Amino acid sequence: MRSALNIKQQVHEGAEVYAIIEGIPIALPSKAKYICQDRRGCWFFCTRRPRIKDGDWTPNKVPIQMINESGRLIAKVLITSPNINWTKTLQTTIKRAQLPMQH
């Protein structure tokens, strides 16, 4: 596995859309607009702003999957310990154009 610094550098170079989860940039598909964590700690991305319905985010969400350097799937869904209430985890994604210049 690569170090967090190497991962950050690669994300800066290759991703068009990403999110920061627990201090680590996570590359996302270009269609991702929002990310959110559910009450179990699973992270998802959405193309439209999700709403809370029946004790969970609306069903138009896709799990954030983790892939290693060789392209193999290592986690079907990214799970972290919830640090705050799951209803407060909604974030917008960051576009490459919003990054400061890198030298």
Is residue 1's pLDDT more than 70? no
Sequence letter at residue 12? H
Q: What is the pLDDT of residue 2?
A: 46
**pTM value surpassing 0.85:** no
Give residue-wise pLDDT tens across range 71-89.
888 889 999 998 899 999 9
**CB neighbours of 68 closer than 8 A, spacing ≥ 6?**
1, 74
Give residue-wise pLDDT tens across range 50-75.
999 888 998 889 999 888 878 888 88
